[in-house]
Amino acid sequence: MQLETAIKKTKPRHAKDSIKKPRRTAKDVATEPLGIRGAGATSQADFGETISNADLIFAVKREPVANRVVFTVAHDIFDNWFEVLEIAEKPNPDFNREVQKVLSALNAKSIFTQAASFERLFGWSIIVVGFVDHGESLQAEVKQAQEIRDLEVYSPLEVDVQNSDEDKDPKSPRFGLPIFYTVNRGLGAQQEKIHFSRVIHVATRLLDHAYKGQSILEAIYDDLTVWRNIRWGIGQTMFRYGGGVLDIEYQGASPKQIDEFIASKQFETVNSRTYFVHSEKQKAQFLGTSGRALDPDPYCKNTLESLSTGTNIPTAILRGAQAGALTGSEVNEREYFKIISDAQSLYEPAIWQLIDLLMATGQIPEVEDYEIKWLGGFEINELDKAVADLNRARAEDLRSKFLTVNELRARMTPPLDPLPGPEGELIPGLLKPQAPGFPSPSESSKHNGEEDEENRDSTS
């Protein structure tokens, strides 16, 4: 389900619902506070007001940074996916392949990506698990489920929890959490209650509510407003003054001659791409805003740094380009994927819940324990790979001077079985190399001893 589809299900605004606003003067525009729902001359609320879902939707649709922080990051979290590995003395090598086959059939990658997008935007989302079971309705608790048939994502635009449907028992392990979720599928469909056993709840930033998390945009919303107003102001400056103002000097002209010159309208269409023919008495030039307009760079830099602080994303990534030298780009990319790795660990409980449910239905093999291994998104370049291999070889050479062959084999990936006999107890770094065709020191000393004995016998 796409965000646009979810938005269409909200109640549309009609003309009769709108209130006609009085026309504002230039003074009103200049003195009004920065808004959080609009920008410049279209702001709708005071800076720092409570943010609604409508404000969040506006931001993610109109603000490039907000769109990147919500959708791009959600896709990067699940883009390379993960492996599910059994933890055991002899793990099943086919376990991950069987798990991935079932997850693929359920379209799990797309489902979790969409759930993460909604969760980052609104603070929480749910995945409704479509069971094949003996429950009379979706309000019934799941018991003896036979199969998971499908998964569906819902955002807070379509789902809510009524106060009476929260667990009120202080002794309950779910105290304060939903027992039932109320889902409104729109398009004339009736509201439907769903038991929590059929729901995977996703909320990674809980703060002042038991199950409704904080939007990722809330901490940076005021900075997004400042950034939007700066961009709006820059655009207005370029539109109004970027092309320069035509300044005409009429030497020695009287007021009457100037009025006649203006009335001739011969310069009304003059711009930087046309020309103006005049005598030595007239002089024309375009005057821009040089020396009279503020330099926006310090303000843009300060706002971008604040957005970077609120999101933990490097400013180069927020801009969508890797600025600077190659090494600087890799540092930015490495920092960004460290943030992605941290976010991945926050979504693991939802993945565990789905995998455990698949084990319970028998759709994947049941194991004692398993782990999720995320496939990294950052890739080092060939030069760094070569340097790493060289350093690894030097380290192994150093270890060979004090570790035995069997100890070195145990450190390899995967570990090798120890060698039988005395060969495994040798320390390779203490063995002296010798040229091919020449006897070893022990053989040489033995051979020399035999020759000396023969010489003594012949002499006697």
| DSSP notation for 360-381 | HTTSS---S-EEEEEPP-----
Q: How many CB atoms lie within 10 A of CB 364?
A: 21
Asked if 126 and 119 count as a contact pair (C-beta separation under 8 A), the reply is no
Does residue 9 carry a pLDDT above 80?
no
DSSP SS3 for 385 = helix
pLDDT of residue 384: 60
Q: How many CB atoms lie within 10 A of CB 1?
A: 14
Average the pLDDT over 428-455 and give the result: 58
Residue 269 in tokens: 């269409």
pLDDT of residue 457: 56
Cα–Cα distance, 22 to 280 (Å, whole number) = 50
Does residue 6 or residue 162 have the better pLDDT?
Answer: 162
Cα–Cα distance, 39 to 230 (Å, whole number) = 9
Does residue 233 or residue 177 have the better pLDDT?
Answer: 177
Cα–Cα distance, 402 to 354 (Å, whole number) = 48
Highest mean pLDDT among 6-20, 102-116, 305-319: 102-116
Does residue 24 carry a pLDDT above 80?
no
Confidence of residue 232 (pLDDT cuts 50, 70, 90): confident
* Lowest-confidence pick of 97-101, 147-151, 275-279, 445-449: 445-449
Highest mean pLDDT among 61-65, 187-191, 246-250, 323-327: 61-65
Cα–Cα distance, 335 to 327 (Å, whole number) = 12
Phi, psi of 73 (to 5 degrees): -65, -40
DSSP SS3 for 159 = strand
Q: State the DSSP code for 85.
A: E
Does residue 41 carry a pLDDT above 50?
no
Sequence-ordered alpha helix ranges (H) in 52-146 = 53-62, 64-67, 73-78, 95-105, 108-122
Q: What is the pTM of this model?
A: 0.67
Residues in the chain: 460
pLDDT of residue 20: 35
Cα–Cα distance, 420 to 418 (Å, whole number) = 6
Average the pLDDT over 180-189 and give the result: 81
What is the rounded average pLDDT for all residues in the chain?
A: 78
Average the pLDDT over 408-418 and give the result: 81
Q: Comparing C-alpha atoms, which of 315, 290, 288, 312 is closest to residue 303? A: 315
Query: What are the CA-CA distances from residue 85 to residues 277, 340, 357, 373 (Å)?
Result: 81, 21, 17, 7
Does residue 254 or residue 456 have the better pLDDT?
Answer: 254
Q: How many CB atoms lie within 10 A of CB 351?
A: 18
Q: Comparing C-alpha atoms, which of 377, 355, 369, 363 is closest to residue 81? A: 377
* Lowest-confidence pick of 96-100, 183-187, 418-422: 183-187
Which residues 6+ apart lie within 8 Å of 95 measured at CB? 84, 85, 86, 364, 365, 367, 370
Percent of the chain at pLDDT > 70 equals 70
Asked if 349 and 55 count as a contact pair (C-beta separation under 8 A), the reply is no
Query: What are the CA-CA distances from residue 68 to residues 8, 72, 116, 351 (Å)?
Result: 22, 5, 13, 24
